[in-house]
Each structure stands twice: as structure tokens, then as C-alpha cells.
Amino acid sequence: MDAKKEEGFHLDRNTFAWEQRRLGDIADVNPSSTLPDSFEYVDLESVIGTEMVSHRTEVRAMAPLRAQRLAKLGDIFFQTVRPYQKNNYLFELPDKDYVFSTGYAQLRPTCVSRFLFPYLQRASFVNRVLDRCTGTGYPAISASDLGDIEISSPLSSEEQHKIGALFSCLDNLIALHQRKLDRNCSVSPS
């Protein structure tokens, strides 16, 4: 089979079987957990796009009631209020004790997180979410309705890893070019 190599990424022409599955079948939705005594709190304003831009230290006894979703490596936090903003986050920090607002649905994938996360960012998926939202000013989807949405997923975890690696490479390239653009724009002519 023909194969292409691009900077350590191997993509061959073999394809694997895919299937339609409910999101709730390939990810635990809002798994329960016990909150630590103190933690870093991430509210809806803390994530812009796919980047965490802020968080604050909270003590459990004084924390907002919405501080309920204890993050674990690989968890995906999907904004359930105004999901068209696509302010979603893939938790890959080595630190423990990050707690997210209940304004996010917490997804703990049983598949490859780096495959699932870009899928959830796709316009076609977000449109299906919006079809199930209630409310007009602040459209929102329940965690159970989110878990009922069907997605296409490769049966092979190898295929999921390859797709996830491809999207990671693309994300890194985009970030690199954005930094270069920002640097060039900040240089003022003398």
C-alpha cells in the first residue's frame, strides 16, 4: 500500500470499519466524583475557543454551587449553554484538582480523547446539538440529550489514534502560524 510520511506522522491508505454510536456509549457523561478541599475552578468564562484562559483557586466550603465537575486527564468539557460558541476544553494538564462548572457536560471518553474532541467541535455536530437545545436567549442542552446524539466512530483505536494525531499536528501548525502572525503584527514600522 502507498504510504505518506509527514514530520513523523504516518498515514496509509488502509481504512478501518466505522460505526454510528451514541455519544453516551463512547463517553461517560458527568461521572460522579468527590471534590478536593481546595481546587482550581474553571467557569464558563474561563475557556475561550479551545483554550483555558483563566481559573481561580477555591475552597470547597466557599466554592460556587456550580463547581461540581472534577477533571481527569483526557476528559472533555462541552459547553452546554450557548454551545454555538464552541468554548470546549480537552483536559490534558498534568495537574490534579481542577473543577469545572456544571455549565459544561463532562465527557470521560472510553475512546481516544484526541479523536473525539475535534469531532465535537465540528459545525455539523454543533448544529445537531443546537437542534436539541431549549431556550432562545441562552440555548442549552441537557447532558442526557447530548449523550443521545449519534456520532461516527472508527471501531479501531489505532484509527482513532491516527486521526487524533493528525488533528493534533494541524492544531500545532495553526497555533505556530498564529503566533508568527501575532508577532509580525506587533512589530511596528520604524
82 within some domain: yes
3 within some domain: no
114 within some domain: yes
What is the distance, to the nearest Å, from the Cα of residue 29 to the centroid of all Cα atoms in its chain?
13
Number of domains in the chain: 1
CA distance 105 to 79: 6
pLDDT value of position 16: 66
Q: Which CATH number belongs to the domain containing residue 114 in this structure?
A: 3.90.220.20
87 within some domain: yes
116 within some domain: yes
Is pTM beyond 0.85? Reply is: no
- Which residues partner with 10 through β-bridges? 5
C-alpha cell at 160: 482513532
Of 87, 79, 134, 86, residue with least CA distance to 106:
79
Q: Which residues form the domain of 31?
A: 21-154
11 within some domain: no
Backbone dihedral angles phi then psi of residue 188, each to the nearest 5 degrees: -90, 145
pLDDT value of position 176: 72
Distances, alpha carbon 40 to alpha carbons 49, 53, 114, in Å: 19, 13, 23
188 within some domain: no
184 within some domain: no
Each of the 190 residues of the chain gets a pLDDT tens digit; together they read 444 433 444 455 556 688 899 999 999 999 999 999 999 999 999 999 999 999 999 999 999 999 999 999 999 999 999 999 999 999 999 888 999 999 999 999 999 899 999 999 999 999 999 999 999 889 999 999 999 999 998 887 787 778 877 877 777 777 777 777 778 887 656 5
Backbone dihedral angles phi then psi of residue 22, each to the nearest 5 degrees: -70, 140
